[in-house]
A = this chain, B = another copy of it.
Amino acid sequence: MGFLDGIKVVDFTHAYAGPFCSLFLADYGAEVIKIERVDGGDQARTWGPFKNDYSAYYASFNRGKKSITLDMKSEEGQKIIYDLIKDADIVCSNFKAGTLERYGVGYEQIKQIKPDIIYATISGFGTKGELSKYAAYDNVIQAMSGVMDVNGFADKGPTKIGPAIGDSYTGLLLLLGIMIAFYHRQKTGQGQQVDVTMLGALFGLLEYPVLEYANNGKVISRSGNASKYVAPSDIYRTKDDYIAITVKNDSQWEEFRKILDLPDTEAYATNQKRLENQSVLKTQIEEKLKNYTSKEAEALFDGTQIAASSVMGIAESLENPQLLARDMVIEVQDPVMGPVKLVGDPIHLSENQPITNLPSPTLGQHTEEILMQLGYSEEKICWLRANHVV
């Protein structure tokens, strides 16, 4: 049994950030009721990759949730939402600020119905200020936060981080906020609002460039794969591909130097000197490594202190026994797609196992079931369907 058994979530999330958050709630046993538009539902249903014309993307982030379709603009639809929330513990959403208020589902409105609700929202910029009215996408937030400026190479333009971490990381912060609020409610009986922004989340990842500029006025921009503080720490060309290596201290350097037969020179005696001379050092390292494939080079460092890995593509990563052993690739039986491979839960707890084998819902799959639980008659449900409320 999940540790959130008996907990009910009314889930207005869509696309990536919000569903990434409520996925963990479902994994740990909460009943997550996803509200979807009558006309097509969550936009992620139209996003690839597809299997049997069904979105594996949607499936991946909505495993184990229930789907009810609803016209939130209609009075009857709002009534259903209130009925759902009366009995719920958590509401979450990632609409831009003001959207839920317009539908009568803002925090102040919901508190009237359910005073101890945990009301959790992701937005691009928060509920106040000039930017609050704007929708936010990962790439725009990456640009605004400064993240793009510190990702990539100095001789190339600013670079978007490949995976949409403006969504995933912010989703995880929201989940953490929900857990804090949940514990607080447990202790005090009190609900609260949890509010996380994509802009604040990504800014919070910038580490030393922010500290350096804010305190010393020094601008640190992108530096490709090389570390600013440790050398050698970079990726290097081999006979067939690349290898990532980090040599953290002088003792590791001695070991590394001997393995690759690099010169025992004063110029590389300390980390500071290796940093100053890193461009010559890199040439010398690559001169040695061109005799090895990445896998052969990796093997050179087996059993040493030195951290090294060939740079792997997805295909290779997917076969890593270390990942497979941790259930990071799971197979779910889906009613539409058949067996589909999805991504597992990276948190391992000895006493709380996540439930990861449930498929995602088809659009509106649980509409009837949920309405009947709320006490709606079959006749009423027919009427709601005929009037496109559900």
Contacts and interface: CB of A to CB of B under 8 A. Distances in A.
A159 B223 CA distance: 10
Contacts of A345: 204
Contacts of A163: 147, 150-151, 205-207
A28 interface: yes
B56 A180 contact: no
Which secondary structure dominates chain A's binding surface?
mixed
B311 A149 contact: yes
Q: Give this chain's copy count.
A: 2
Q: Size range of the interface on A? A: 35 or more
Given A176-B24, A180-B349, A148 B49 contact: no
Contact of A139 (B132, B137, B225, B352): B225
B172 A161 contact: no
B328 A219 contact: no
A314 B349 contact: no
Given A172-B173, A307-B136, A184 B215 contact: no
Interface of A: 3, 16, 24, 28, 47-51, 56-57, 60, 124-126, 128-132, 134-137, 139-153, 156-165, 168-169, 172-177, 179-184, 186-187, 190, 192-197, 199-201, 203-216, 218-225, 227, 229, 233-235, 237, 242-246, 248, 305, 307-318, 320-323, 325-326, 328-329, 340-352
